[in-house]
Structure 1
Amino acid sequence: MAVSMSSSPSSGRLSIPTKLFYGFGSVAFGVKDQGFSYLLLIFYNQVVGLPSATVGLAIMIALIFDSFLDPLMGQISDGWRSRWGRRHPFMYAAAIPVAVSYLLLWNPPQGWSDQAIFLYLIVVAVIIRSFITMYEIPSSALAPELTTDYDERTKVLAYRHFFGWFGGLAMTVLALRVFLAPDAAHPVGQLNPAGYQTYAYVASAVMLGAILISAMGTHRHIARFSTPAKRKLSVGELAREMIGTLSHKSFLVLVGAGLFNAMASGLVLSLNLYFNTYFWELSSNQIALLATGNFVSAILAFMLAAPLAKRVGKKSAAQATKVLAFLIAVGPISLRLVGLAPENGAPALLPILFVQTVFSTAFSITSAILISSMIADVVEDSELRTGRRSEGLFFSASAFVQKAVSGVGIFASSMILLAVGFPQQAKPGEIDHPVLVCLGAVYLIVLAALYGAAILCVSLYRITREGHEESLRRLAAKARRTGGKGPEYA
């Protein structure tokens, strides 16, 4: 059966407005992701009062549900036929539900038991993740449809990661500097419950706007995207197609790399506020200052990703930046554990933490951009083997990996807090020193294991620039033989 291809992705450069509209949509995911990773654990643990392990378990349950929904959403959008193409109907449909469900997440009912709040958190987390999936997977899958060029894809995905980080960070800094303000009853601003409610309303509105602006801004490109032929598949045939597509070896190692990378990033983000509040004893304003350093990180990553990929290749660049991210990330805590870091409150401490934050995050973002671009290059290699363009299915795995930042990362963080005996509703400066030392040591060991596993997986990726260009030539030759209708498959 032939796949109808109404047109093909651009093989050249895209306009700046197209990249901006495409990238801006990731603000929604960035706001959600930063909220889950940076604020959700401490909110439900220290403000609402749920045990850290309970919060982590709730997020993990939602993540398991997501793991089944993601590939299904990818497969559905790959085969969707409408006058608005394969992706945009889902992007538009998700906008309002994403905003409403995120608002509910930060406004749990008052007076409920721990068990009831636990169930509430699971249900709302599943809902917000489901609608983010409905938007993020089709939106991400636009990248390989917009261009087939090896280097242009890295640039396009650099825009996406830049806006995702920038939007999420802006909302986090706004929360720390404006919404989570200390008052008489809550001298530590990040423990002020009223601030989280204000944050929820503003964040939900921003997510709604980002989704609609991106969808409308890329709408004009629908006419040149691929259109699948009408097909009727049984559940068994659909499952076999999905397994056949996702069994691509280079894709599988990227999934592994992305998963370990996401867990490492999630661990850093989820425990970051704990370290800053209790380990370093920083004020909310000082923490906000560190968070602003991530704006610089996002800019550096945006500038580094494409030139590095062009100079040394995506694979080598991804490995090198991941190694640098790890070495810089563990520096200050390692120094404190061996007694070489400045004391809390010392003038030199904040500048050291600021520089560490900027560069470790910059290299981590750069690595993530490169891995996303490598996933985009799997599309054509897979199309040669299967006869199907499966951007949505491949990027569904990418979306799942990114969500693991706030799922597995939060769960691992909660388990570390439980293992070291970290107290609930603790006050800075009143935690036993051995508990803090144990927290730092366990954190470094787990982080090293995750980063090492990610680097090992990337080393097994096999698609090069030359291999990608050869795939494009072979696909073009097949299209000419079939009269421009694209590949065929049984």
Structure 2
Amino acid sequence: MLTIRTRAAYGAGGAVYAVKEAAYTMFVLLFYTQVLGLNGSLTGAVIAVSLLWDALSDPLTGVLSDRLRSRHGRRHPFMVASILPIGLGFIGLFAPPAGLLDNQWSLAAWLLFWSLWVRTFVTLFAIPHLALSAEITSDYHERSQVLGARLATLFLFSVLVPALALAFLFPERGGEDGRFDLTNYPLYGILCCAVCWVMATVTTFGTRRYVHSSLDEDRLPRSTPGLRELWRDLARTLHNRTFRLVLGQEIAVMTAYGTVATLNMLVWTYYWEFSAGDVSLILALPSLLAVALVLLTLRPLSRRFEKHQLMQLSIIGLILNCLWLYPLRMAKLLPPNGTTLVFALNFVFMLVFMYCFLLRAIQTQSIVADVTDEHEHDHGLRQEAGFFSAANLVNKFATVFGPLYGGIVLDVIGLQASMRPGGVPAPVLDGLAWAFGLGTLPGFVLALLLVLRINLGQARVAEIQAALRARRGT
């Protein structure tokens, strides 16, 4: 039975991915466009290119990790090697030299280089770390718990790090909003570096008891992979019907999430006119409460519902949550910005969104872990990292839409770098709200239609695992 210490040690690794996501969803677009003056479409295109590379590097890392023959196992060597470069990458990302600021293409090249650096080394850590979950436990419910610990940490740090930064690194000083002060961003890079170094070290050494030599493992592919073998390993994962449906809903949901993540800071800053302190609260408090609620309700919900049923309920919640707050504001049924009610309604909106999104994500990754058993049953091979990396691949291809869409939106609606909250024309604000809605709701609806076709339940997983145990016994 998994101990709390094991879940906590494994879960700590989620902070690494969280810091990267928080940096790109909350600050990179704002920093490079509204502070440094880089063209919005060019910024979005650079981020999209780095995301494409990020997506392509996932399956490569997954296949290499699955095939690694080492006395230190298949996962930990990659995790250890990536820790130092991850932290250095965040420092470079948020500290461009002053000499580059007057040249659009040089600044774009700097953003591209450090984006590729950060995303590559986070992948080298995150994919083996994800695959490790299937090695820690094979229990149907414990898999949800261990992945729940990772995702709870991921969501916790994805809001805590930017919230603390907004409160202490980007406060208003002398009447100037700290989010538009160039000198604050290198400090944020250092903060990201420190968090990644500490949490990656905790999870790497805290899970060392699960290191098992893979030198003589019969269930692993034995050849050194070439391009054909890499493609074959990836393509083999797509033979599984459940996995194809999971990938489809992940693409749809993450396309919508990419829009939310990209535009959140902009709508909070300009549409709702929240201060940096307000944003830190609206970002942190609902998310912290949502994480706590998920951890409290995960076990009883998992005992009552199958994983795919919880996915369905979570996505229905996301859809319903899209249909009230922004339409009320556009219909002029809300009080003016700056009132307690407006803040409270945004609080509720974020709480529902984060709870449903986190619950869905846990079930998604837990089903992927179950699919690895089904794959071994059908093909005789363990490819945990291959499945998780394929899921991450489509996840990141989907999130390419967010920054690309967000950068184009800035140019189309005319939100200029010189504009400040309270001084943005009404048509620009309306365009921002429409862009937010049109980029989210269709993806959630499509995801629901796909999830309704998934039916891999506990009874089937137990049957598969029993067959695997019998096979290994012979």
Work out the CA distance in 2 between the residues paired with 1:194 and 1:234: 46
CA distance in 2, matches of 1:89, 1:50: 38
Residue 32 (structure 2) aligns with: 44
Q: Could you tell me which amino acid in structure 1 is paired with residue 131 of structure 2?
A: A
Deviation of 1:401 (Å) = 4.7
2:333 to 322, 325, 340: 340
Q: Is the 8 A contact 2:52 2:397 kept in 1?
A: no
2:188 is the alignment partner of 1:196: no
Aligned to 2:277: 285
CA pair 155-443 structure 1, distance change in 2 beyond 3 A = same
Q: 4+ residue stretches of structure 1 with deviation over 4 A?
A: 401-406
Residues in 2 aligned to 1:224 and 1:147: alpha-carbon distance in whole angstroms: 17
Task: Find the counterpart in structure 2 of residue 212 from structure 1.
Answer: 201
Residue 148 of structure 1, CA deviation: 1.0
Contact 2:70–2:213 under 8 Å retained in 1: no
Q: Is residue 237 of structure 2 the alignment partner of residue 245 of structure 1?
A: yes
Match of 2:148 in 1: 158
Instruction: Tell me the residue number matched to 2:163.
Output: 173
Deviations 1:377-436 (A, max 9, x none): 110111112111110111112333554576432222222223322223321111111121
C-alpha deviation, 1:308, in angstroms = 2.2
Are 1:133 and 2:120 matched, yes or no? no
- In structure 2, the partner of 1:6 is none
**Cα distance, 1:354–1:238 mapped onto 2, change above 3 Å:** closer
Q: Counterpart in 2 of 1:10?
A: none
The 2-side partners of 1:223 and 1:447 are apart by 43
Q: Contact 1:63 / 1:403 at 8 angstroms: preserved in 2?
A: yes
SS state of the match for residue 381, structure 2? Answer: coil
Greater Cα offset, 217-226 or 189-198: 217-226
The equivalent of 1:468 in structure 2 is: 461
Paired residues of 1:317 and 1:367 also in contact (CA < 8 A):
yes
AA aligned to 2:87 is A
Partner of 1:54: 42
| 1:484 match | none
Percent of aligned positions with the same letter in both sequences? 28
Tell me the amino acid that sits aligned with residue 14 of structure 2.
S
Deviates further, 365-374 or 393-402 = 393-402
Among 112, 133, 150, the alignment partner of 1:143 is 133
Q: Which moved more, 1:340-349 or 1:54-63?
A: 340-349
Partner of 2:423: 430
How far 1:469 sits from its partner (Å)?
0.9
TM-aligned CA deviation for residue 234 of structure 1: 4.8
Deviations 1:186-230 (A, max 9, x none): 712221222211111011011011111100000111138893364
Question: Where do residues 57-136 of structure 1 align in structure 2 (5 Å cutoff)?
Answer: 57-112=45-100, 113-136=103-126
> Residue by residue, what CA displacement relative to the aligned partner does 1:459-484 show, whole Å, maximum 9, x if unpaired?
23231111111110111121122xxx
Deviations 1:130-182 (A, max 9, x none): 10110000001011111111111111111000111112211111111000122
- Which stretch of the first structure deviates more once superposed, 408-417 or 199-208? 408-417
Say if 2:60 and 2:230, in contact at 8 Å, map to a contact too. no
Distance 1:82 1:164 in 2: 29
Output the amino acid matched with 2:158: G
Mapped partners of 1:116, 1:248: distance in 2: 45
Cα deviation for residue 329 of structure 1 reads 4.3
Matches within 5 A, 1:268-279: 268-279=260-271
| 2:18 maps to which of 22, 30, 47 | 30
Taking the aligned partners of 2:164 and 2:41, their CA distance within structure 1 comes to: 28
Amino acid at match of 1:458: V
Counterpart residue identity of residue 202, structure 1: L
1:314–1:459 distance in 2 versus 1, CA, 3 Å? same
In structure 1, how many angstroms separate the alpha carbons of the residues matched to 2:61 and 2:44?
Answer: 25
TM-score computed with the length of structure 2 as normaliser: 0.94
Distance 2:49 2:221 in 1: 36
Q: Distance in 2 between matches of 1:121 and 1:303?
A: 40
Counterparts in 2 of 1:15 and 1:231: CA distance versus 1, 3 Å: same
Structure 1 residue 125 displacement after superposition: 0.6
Cα distance between partner residues in 1 of 2:173 and 2:305: 52
Cα offset, 1:355, TM superposition: 1.8
Q: Which deviates more from structure 2 when the two are superposed, residues 210-219 or residues 296-305? A: 296-305
CA RMSD across the alignment: 1.8
- Higher mean alpha-carbon deviation, 403-412 vs 347-356, is at 403-412
Query: Structure 1: which amino acid aligns with 2:263?
Result: L
Structure 2: distance between partners of 1:344 and 1:22? 42
Task: State whether residues 270 and 409 of structure 1, in contact with CA within 8 Å, keep that contact through their aligned partners in structure 2.
Answer: yes
Unaligned runs of 5+ in 1: 1-12, 482-490
Question: 1-side partners of 2:255 and 2:275: how far apart?
Answer: 27
- Residue equivalent to 1:8: none
Instruction: Sort the Cα spacing of 1:232 and 1:278 in 2 relative to 1 into closer, same or farther, 3 A.
Output: closer
Cα displacement (A) at 1:233: 5.1
- What amino acid is the match of 1:476? R
Give how far 1:39 is off.
1.3
**Alignment gaps of 5+ in structure 2:** none
Retained in 2: the 8 A contact 1:332–1:341? no
The amino acid of 2:138's aligned partner reads T
Equivalenced residue count is 468
Q: Is the alpha carbon distance of 1:195 and 1:240 closer, same or farther for their aligned partners in structure 2, counting shifts above 3 Å?
A: same
Report Cα offsets for 1:254-273 as digits up to 9, x if no partner.
Answer: 12211222222221122111
How far apart in 2 are the matches of 1:193 and 1:388? 51
Query: In the alignment, is the contact (CA less than 8 A) between 1:251 and 1:378 conserved in 2?
Result: yes
Which segment drifts farther, 228-237 or 94-103? 228-237
AA in 2 matched with 1:133 = T
Structure 2 residue identity aligned to 1:41: L
Mapped contact 2:252–2:398 kept (Cα < 8 A): no
Tell me how far 1:14 sits from its aligned partner.
1.0
- 1:246 offset after TM fit, Å? 3.2
For residue 23 of structure 1, report the CA deviation from its aligned partner.
0.3
